[in-house]
């Protein structure tokens, strides 16, 4: 257990590097003199600034001063006997690096990281990092990542697989709003809580506030997130401050599905060999990929009642031009095969229905999911047999079936994305506190659509998420209802988040070799 202080700095232009240096050192002196803290965390590019082109002459002077600045930080770490994590630009072997350093209480550099998942114009100036180190310290095992690295599930996963108990995320998260008090970012809203949850680790995010170079509005909202995905402390979006929180590395995490004997070979395949890469390169008329997707939600007391409600929903939705329909889990209320048998004759030729429930295999009932049309069946996929994620090419697009807590593993949805999935269907029979955040994260980190079919309970619901992570249709809990959205499924093959950042082309699969140790079953 230890005390951490996230120092949320005011963003400044690189021309103000002298003031920036003074403020950073004053923050260290002030906090360590007044508070008992074990770890101080500063944002990405705390020194000298994030956008160096604002004043290239000042940037050159600042970068020359970097070694002296680092000595000042090291001296304070030793003097106050604290750990300090900080993001800064460094020049190494003729390369400019967006780096993060961890100093120990002796003033020594314990570890470093280089930004790997480059954001926007980063690629113009810096080299991507391939270093995912976990540092064994007196505080515990610490991993580090920088800003947009939090968007790539592989990076936090590698750190966790290497034993990280805490991941420090140094960031300059950007946003926009009509007021600085309203600023928010997807990483803060749902991505980083999911990273903490899916890896069973603490995440310490330190961000900046304010405007840099007239164009980079920092989000603030530095926070500390526990292994259950709960934010235990956060800063405002518009005020520099030191957020102090207690990190308990002994805290239990949620028991996640085992990854043993699963095949996630796609995660380390070369980008040029991925199915999604060839699909991304094919020309298309975006309007021709449009489809009405519908998420149905209803309760049923008996098998006959379930089939009757599903039949009514299908008739209504087909009249409203739905081509991909998800139904709530039929569970113990109806026989899985009987549901498919009775509903199939109702379908128009190009309509696909997805449903989860219990299906028989080897004489036992197992959790399963299936998709079917009037003429074809896709699956079933069984919960305990889903060792290799499968993508089906159907009349309504390329879909993947994910059952219950399998969605908690980022490798499942990630592998399906690399196989070229357009829509993830989540057959989920039990709502979790993290359900909505996980759904939004899986859609956004993979740039795909996601439809979650709830279990039909009064406190549950169904919804559709767009590739941006926004919920575009949702049902009201406790109401028999369907919610529909017009989805341009071709958008699932546009993997660009912003110019310079692509969730497929920006990956570094050759650097993810650690994932083979636990998640790759050789074919």
* 201 and 315, same domain (yes or no): no
Residues 276 and 173 in one domain: no
| Same domain membership, residue 303 and residue 204 | no
Strands in 241-247's sheet, in edge-to-edge order, are 109-114, 95-103, 83-92, 39-41, 2-8, 241-247
Q: What residue spans of 126-242 are helical by DSSP H? A: 153-161, 186, 192-199
Whole-number Å distance between alpha carbons of 122 and 499? 10
Q: Please report whether residue 521 resides in a domain.
A: no
Q: Are residues 309 and 176 in the same domain?
A: no
Q: Note the helical H segments in 55-96.
A: 56-80
Cα separation of 463 and 469, whole Å? 12
C-alpha count within 13 angstroms, C-beta hemisphere, residue 34 = 9
Neighbouring C-alpha atoms within 13 Å toward the C-beta of 66: 24
- How far is the CA of 337 from the CAs of 331, 334, 351, 400, in angstroms? 12, 9, 18, 20
- Compute CA 241 distance to the chain's CA centroid, rounded to the nearest angstrom: 26
How does pLDDT run along the chain (523 residues), one tens digit per residue?
999 999 999 999 999 999 999 999 999 999 999 889 999 999 999 999 999 999 999 999 999 999 999 999 999 999 999 999 999 999 988 889 999 999 999 999 999 999 999 999 999 889 999 999 999 999 999 999 999 999 999 999 999 999 999 999 999 999 999 999 999 999 999 999 999 999 999 999 999 999 999 999 999 999 999 999 999 999 999 999 999 999 999 999 999 988 776 778 899 999 999 999 999 999 999 999 999 999 999 999 899 999 999 999 999 999 999 999 999 999 877 888 899 999 999 999 999 999 999 988 888 888 999 999 999 999 999 886 555 789 999 999 999 999 999 999 999 999 999 999 999 999 998 899 999 999 999 999 999 999 998 887 888 999 999 999 999 999 999 899 999 999 999 999 999 999 999 999 999 999 998 886 544 444 3
Q: What does DSSP say about strands 322-326 and 290-297: parallel, antiparallel, or unpaired?
A: parallel
Same domain membership, residue 35 and residue 81? yes
Output the pLDDT for position 522: 40
Q: Are residues 6 and 33 in the same domain?
A: yes
Instruction: Kindly state whether residue 47 falls inside one of the protein's structural domains.
Output: yes
Gap between the Cα atoms of 372 and 354, Å rounded: 7
Instruction: Say how far residue 191 (Cα) sits from the centre of its chain.
Output: 4
Tell me: do 162 and 226 sit in the same domain.
yes
Question: Domains in the chain: how many in total?
Answer: 2
| CATH number assigned to the domain comprising residue 298 | 3.60.110.10
Q: Let me know whether 284 and 207 are in one domain.
A: no
Residues 115, 181, single domain; the answer is: yes
Q: Which residues contact 164 (CB under 8 A, 6 or more apart)?
A: 134, 141, 142, 143, 199, 201
Q: Which of 356, 333, 343, 324 is nearest to 426 (CA)?
A: 356
Rounded CA-CA distance 208/24 in Å is 12
Q: How many residues does the chain have?
A: 523
What count of other Cβ atoms lies within 10 Å of the Cβ of residue 206? 29
Under 8 Å between Cβ of 507 and 271:
yes
The residue to which tokens 């934010």 are assigned:
231
The H or E element spanning position 217 is strand 216-219
Token pair listed for 174: 């950007």
In a domain, residue 505? The reply is no
User: Domain for residue 272, yes or no?
Assistant: yes
Residue 457: inside a domain, yes or no? yes
The token pair that represents 315 in the structure block: 């008739």
> What does the block give as tokens for 275?
């199915």
H-helix or E-strand spanning residue 135: strand 134-137
Residue 219 lies inside a defined structural domain of this protein: yes
Residues 269, 220 share a domain: no
One domain for residues 313 and 224: no
Quick one: tokens of 238?
A: 């518009």
What domain range is 71 assigned to?
2-247
What is the greatest pairwise CA distance in the chain? Answer: 77
Same domain, 162 and 91: yes
Residue 210, Cβ density class (10 Å: 0-12 exposed, 13-18 middle, ≥19 buried): middle
Residue 489 belongs to some domain of the structure? yes
Does residue 504 lie within any of the structural domains?
A: no
- Under DSSP, the state recorded for 313 is H
Domain termination site, one of 194, 220, 247 = 247
């Amino acid at each position: 257990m230890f005390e951490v202080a996230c120092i949320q700095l005011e963003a400044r232009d690189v021309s103000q590097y002298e003031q920036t240096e003074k403020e950073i050192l004053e923050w260290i002196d002030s906090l360590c003199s007044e508070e008992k803290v074990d770890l101080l965390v500063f944002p990405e590019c705390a020194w000298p600034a994030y956008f160096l082109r604002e004043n290239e002459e000042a940037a050159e002077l600042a970068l020359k001063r970097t070694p002296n600045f680092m000595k000042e930080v090291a001296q304070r770490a030793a003097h106050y006997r604290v750990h300090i994590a900080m993001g800064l630009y460094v020049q190494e072997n003729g390369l400019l690096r967006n780096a993060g350093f961890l100093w120990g209480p002796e003033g020594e550099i314990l570890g470093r990281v280089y930004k790997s998942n480059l954001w926007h114009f980063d690629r113009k100036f810096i080299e991507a990092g391939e270093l995912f180190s976990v540092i064994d310290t007196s505080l515990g095992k610490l991993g580090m990542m920088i800003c947009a690295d939090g968007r790539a599930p592989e990076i936090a996963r590698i750190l966790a697989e290497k034993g990280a108990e805490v991941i420090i995320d140094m960031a300059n998260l950007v946003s926009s709003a009509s007021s600085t008090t309203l600023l928010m970012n997807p990483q803060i809203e749902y991505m980083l809580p999911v990273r903490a949850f899916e890896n069973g680790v603490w995440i310490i995010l330190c961000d900046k506030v304010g405007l840099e170079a007239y164009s980079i509005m920092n989000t603030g909202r530095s926070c500390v997130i526990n292994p259950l995905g709960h934010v235990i402390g956060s800063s405002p979006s518009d005020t520099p401050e030191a957020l102090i929180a207690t990190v308990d590395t002994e805290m239990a995490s949620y028991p996640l599905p085992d990854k043993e004997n699963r095949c996630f070979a796609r995660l380390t395949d070369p980008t040029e060999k991925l199915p999604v890469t060839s699909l991304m390169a094919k020309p298309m008329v975006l309007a021709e990929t449009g489809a009405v997707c519908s998420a149905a939600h209803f309760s049923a007391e008996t098998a006959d009642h379930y089939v009757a409600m599903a039949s009514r929903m299908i008739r209504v939705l087909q009249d409203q031009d739905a081509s991909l329909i998800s139904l709530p889990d039929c569970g113990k209320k109806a026989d899985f095969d009987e549901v498919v048998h009775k509903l199939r004759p109702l379908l128009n030729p190009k309509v696909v229905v997805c449903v989860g429930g219990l299906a028989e295999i080897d004489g036992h009932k197992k959790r399963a999911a299936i998709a079917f049309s009037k003429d074809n069946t896709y699956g079933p996929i069984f919960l305990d047999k889903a060792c290799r994620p499968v993508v089906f090419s159907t009349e309504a697009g390329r879909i993947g079936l994910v059952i219950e807590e399998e969605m908690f593993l980022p490798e499942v949805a990630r592998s399906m994305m690399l196989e070229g999935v357009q829509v993830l269907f989540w057959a989920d029979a039990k709502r979790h506190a993290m359900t909505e955040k996980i759904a939004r994260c899986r859609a956004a980190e993979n740039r795909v659509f996601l439809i979650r079919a709830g279990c039909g309970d009064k406190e549950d619901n169904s919804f559709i998420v767009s590739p941006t992570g926004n919920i575009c249709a949702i049902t009201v809990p406790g109401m028999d209802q369907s919610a529909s959205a017009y989805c341009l499924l071709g958008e699932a093959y546009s993997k660009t988040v912003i110019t310079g950042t692509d969730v497929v082309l920006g990956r570094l699969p050759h650097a993810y070799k650690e994932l083979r140790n636990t998640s790759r079953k050789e074919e």
